[in-house]
């Protein structure tokens, strides 16, 4: 699957600005409309280290009402969380009706990091595919919109980005020893990712693979996908789609 993804796709800066000029105010209005319609939204970001998950999340956050969304950066489970069923800590972070929850990594760590780093026995991470599908289906049947992104870059591009960050004294802290260890296991993670995408694709929680070599391309694909899914959810509820009025002199921040 991932070997067929065209990682050379790119947009020029002006092309990005032209499209974002319409898409970003549209996102603002759509979030507000979903709030009023009590439509809850879950946005999941998975992807390679240094693939741009954080900047993509910031792009969405800058264009949504902060009263209506929360960002959940997911790390390893705490000792207390390990005493509970493994999905328990994610249930606690599910948004209220009308709100948006953005997950910077998610329950998919069970079948990625925990699998490759051998933190979870094979029988448990294999069982997790079915548990994830049930988890997401339960949410979808309760009216939740589930939007899942996997940001894809090559091993060569990832190495280049790590090197760039390490050479910047203000950014070098972002590259952790575990990130470099994951990079060395890129091919193992690739196998796990391919299986994850195949095993957890569903009609209620489809994956969007984002070609993330070029940030402008990835940002427009993410904005377009989120807007489209929110529009579809409003249509399903019989609600009108808010119309965007574009001011010609507005400037979009890259």
CATH number of the domain at 53, please: 3.40.50.300
What's this model's pTM, rounded to 2 decimal places? 0.94
Check residue 33 and give its pLDDT: 98
| CA–CA distance, 16 with 32 (Å, rounded to integer) | 24
CA distance 246 to 222: 20
pLDDT on residue 71: 98
* Blockwise average pLDDT, block size 10, the chain, 254 residues: 94 97 97 98 98 97 97 96 97 98 98 97 98 98 98 97 92 91 97 98 97 98 98 97 74 54
pLDDT at 253: 54
Looking at residue 128, its pLDDT comes to: 98
Chain centre to alpha carbon of residue 176: 21
Is residue 249 domain-resident?
no
Angle between the N-to-C axes of helices 186-199 and 155-167, in degrees from 0 to 180, rounded to the nearest 10: 120
54 belongs to a structural domain: yes
- Looking at residue 32, its pLDDT comes to 97
Which strand ranges, in their side-by-side order, compose the sheet holding 145-152?
69-73, 100-104, 41-47, 145-152, 207-211
How far separated are the first and last CA of the chain, in Å rounded? 30
Assess contact for 162 and 179: CB atoms under 8 A: yes
Q: Is the separation of the CB atoms in 65 and 28 below 8 Å?
A: yes
Kindly state whether residue 252 falls inside one of the protein's structural domains. Answer: no
Helices then strands, each counted (H, E), the chain: 10, 5
48 occurs within a structural domain: yes
Angle at 225 between CA 224 and CA 226, to 5 degrees: 95
Neighbours of 206 (CB within 10 A): 13
Q: Is residue 254 part of a domain?
A: no
Residue 251 lies in a domain: no
| Residue 248 lies inside a defined structural domain of this protein | no
Q: Could you tell me where the DSSP H helices lie in the chain?
A: 13-36, 53-62, 79-82, 88-91, 113-116, 122-141, 155-167, 177-184, 186-199, 215-236
DSSP state of 243: P
Residues β-bridged to residue 53? none
Question: 21 lies in which domain range?
Answer: 2-236
Indicate whether 145 belongs to any domain: yes
The span from the CA of 106 to the CA of 121, in Å, is 19
Strands 100-104 and 207-211: unpaired
* Best CA proximity match to 148, nearest among 28, 55, 46: 46
Number of domains in the chain: 1
């Amino acid at each position: 699957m991932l070997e067929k993804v065209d990682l050379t796709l790119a947009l020029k800066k002006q092309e990005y600005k032209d499209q974002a000029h319409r898409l970003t105010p549209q996102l603002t209005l759509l979030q507000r409309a979903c709030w009023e319609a009590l439509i809850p939204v879950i946005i999941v970001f998975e992807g390679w280290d240094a693939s741009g998950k954080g900047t993509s999340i910031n792009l969405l956050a800058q264009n949504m009402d902060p009263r209506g969304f929360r960002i959940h950066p997911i790390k390893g489970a705490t000792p207390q969380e390990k005493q509970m069923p493994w999905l328990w800590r994610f249930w606690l972070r599910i948004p209220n009706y009308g709100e948006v929850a953005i997950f910077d990594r998610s329950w998919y760590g069970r079948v990625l990091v925990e699998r490759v780093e051998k933190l979870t026995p094979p029988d448990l991470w294999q069982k997790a595919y079915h548990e994830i599908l049930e988890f997401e289906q339960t949410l979808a049947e309760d009216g939740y919109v589930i939007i899942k992104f996997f940001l894809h870059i090559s091993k060569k591009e990832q190495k280049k980005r790590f090197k760039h960050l390490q050479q910047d004294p203000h950014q070098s802290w972002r590259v952790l020893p575990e990130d470099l260890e994951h990079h060395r296991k890129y091919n193992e993670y690739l196998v796990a990712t391919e299986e994850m995408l195949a095993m957890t694709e569903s009609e209620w929680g489809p994956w969007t693979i984002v070609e993330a070599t070029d940030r402008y391309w990835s940002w427009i694909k993410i904005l377009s996908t989120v807007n489209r899914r929110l529009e579809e959810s409003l249509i399903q509820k019989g609600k009108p789609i808010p119309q965007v009025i574009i001011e010609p002199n507005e400037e979009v921040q890259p």
